[in-house]
Structure 1
Amino acid sequence: MASDGVLAGRTIVVTRPLAQCGPLAEAIRAAGGEPLVFPLLEILPADDPAPLVAAVEQLASYRVAIFISPNAVDHALPAIIAAGGWPAGLLPAAVGQGTVKALAAHGVHGCIAPTERFDSEALLELPELARERIAGQRIAIFRGDGGRELLGDTLRARGATVDPVTCYRRLGPSAGAQPLLAAWKNRSLDALTVSSSEGLRYLWDLLPEEGRLALAETPVFVPHARIAENAKIIGLQKIILTEAADQGILRALRAYNWQR
């Protein structure tokens, strides 16, 4: 793809998990920038496969199956397909549009998902998850280890039986921060993109004091207000809140005033 030069001379760190960083890295390169791929999360199968096996066996008894992320789709759908495929009458739901696309890639369509804010709060506002629609129903939430409990707790309060299904786990980066530290030292690191509060915490813990000082003065592009709030709490000074997903991050990168 030919470069249009908008990001010429800019090195921008892409911190998504390795399997998901390609599209944003390529878009940055297409705009003339140099992506520095530095995944902040490593995605692995869950330590205990039993909850996923049990959920797949009972899948037809659920009314709604919620997928928290594309990683949840990637780790759950192969087991679902191997067991006979998506049950008729099971409503798929997703927090974000990337997860909708991941489900569609596996042949699962008709997914409900927010169209503006992409978080648990927005998903819970959908009429399909109102109390009168889900009271007395079973709901499975396919997710990673840990994370917020708001979604499950709210659905239980609305009368549903909720089974959280941990199908993957997240680890921090196994390598040290030397690539980032070297880029800062050479004055060749212009910005970071961070799409996870958990990844941001891993990054902060990974960096020595000089790295934290450099990070605090580096533009950090984040696609969700919660990540922006966490970045502010740890002392970052140049936080750019973008629209959602890779497209929103890229639009913000292209519109940023790099000379200021």
Structure 2
Amino acid sequence: MQQGLPLAGKTIVVTRPRAQAKALGRAIAAQGGRAFYFPLLEITPVEDAAPLRAVAARLEDYRLAIFISPNAVQHALPILLAGRHWPPGLQPVAVGPGTLKALEQAGVNGCLCPRQRFDSEALLDLPELSAAALAGQQVLILRGNGGRELLGDTLANRGARVERVACYQRRGPGAGQEEFLAALSAEALHGLTLSSSEALAHLLELAGAEHKAHLERLPLFVSHARIADKARAAGLSQVVLTEPGDAGLLAGLCAYNGSRP
């Protein structure tokens, strides 16, 4: 145990999809804690990539290409850019810093991205997504299956011609459920990080009535006010709202645990 570090002796559940979980886990370990990996969302490619290949064939027709998450970048770009470069007239848009980083690492630069909040509402506040900028323009939204419709519906109401394409699928937790519930029941966990409302829904369903009391005593660190509101509405009172991203979750974890005896 690394005494003196804010997370010394703490076991923190990291619920990000498997491909995005390790960075936060390493950061937790650097602060003395132990990461308990339990993805509440499993990410897989779409079963039918034909719609994605269809938009790839006419990528130059779009004014904006909006990537909803790093997963969208990971699963869409290999098909969109197979044997070609990013079209110079197509403006890439990232919903947040993780998505922005994924695009830049793939060689797609000059992206639009909100500077503070990282959600659909923040994207819609950008002047480049205003009605004056997009009326009559074609907009491509690259996302997972399902999800919120606010962004696409609002852009359509602003006069854009919007096409939504699913490039990956989200599923609930697979392996590791019994281990997680056993650790939860034994109160061997000291915090749980959440970064999506969908992950919260899976957590509540998994805990059910049998484990609800244990879950109510576990501090939840959430990176968006919408997730915090839903957690509290579900009866969870130990909810800590952090700044966005891994850095925000880590800072919230350290501040919370550093203030505890």
The total of aligned residue pairs comes to 259
> Which deviations, in whole Å up to 9, do the C-alpha atoms of 1:70-114 show, x marking residues without a partner?
000000111122141211110000111100000001100000011
Aligned pair 1:259/2:260, yes or no? yes
Map 1:220-231 onto structure 2 (within 5 A): 220-231=220-231
Map 1:1-260 onto structure 2 (within 5 A): 5-175=5-175, 177-257=177-257, 259=260
Q: State the percentage of identical aligned residues.
A: 54
SS in 1 for 2:81: helix
Post-superposition shift, 1:247?
A: 0.1
SS in 1 for 2:80: helix
Post-superposition shift, 1:230?
A: 1.0
Post-superposition shift, 1:187?
A: 2.8
Post-superposition shift, 1:3?
A: 8.4
> Which deviations, in whole Å up to 9, do the C-alpha atoms of 1:213-255 show, x marking residues without a partner?
1111110000001110110111111000000000000001110
What TM-score does the superposition give when structure 1 sets the normalisation length? 0.96
Taking a change above 3 Å as real, the CA distance of residues 139 and 54 of structure 1, as seen in their structure-2 partners, is same
Instruction: Tell whether the 8 Å contact from 1:221 to 1:249 is kept in structure 2 after alignment.
Output: yes
CA distance in 2, matches of 1:205, 1:120: 26
> Which deviations, in whole Å up to 9, do the C-alpha atoms of 1:92-151 show, x marking residues without a partner?
001111000000011000000111000101101101111111101000000000011110
5+ residue gaps, structure 2, are: none
The CA RMSD over aligned residues, in Å, is: 1.5
Instruction: Tell whether the 8 Å contact from 1:12 to 1:36 is kept in structure 2 after alignment.
Output: yes
Instruction: Tell whether the 8 Å contact from 1:177 to 1:207 is kept in structure 2 after alignment.
Output: no
Post-superposition shift, 1:69?
A: 0.3
Taking a change above 3 Å as real, the CA distance of residues 205 and 81 of structure 1, as seen in their structure-2 partners, is same
Taking a change above 3 Å as real, the CA distance of residues 13 and 160 of structure 1, as seen in their structure-2 partners, is same
Instruction: Tell whether the 8 Å contact from 2:67 to 2:141 is kept in structure 1 after alignment.
Output: yes
Taking a change above 3 Å as real, the CA distance of residues 88 and 3 of structure 1, as seen in their structure-2 partners, is farther
Post-superposition shift, 1:181?
A: 2.2
CA distance in 2, matches of 1:259, 1:61: 55
What TM-score does the superposition give when structure 2 sets the normalisation length? 0.95
Q: Name the aligned partner's letter for residue 70 of structure 1.
A: P
**Which range is displaced more, 169-178 or 197-206?**
169-178
Q: Name the aligned partner's letter for residue 171 of structure 1.
A: R
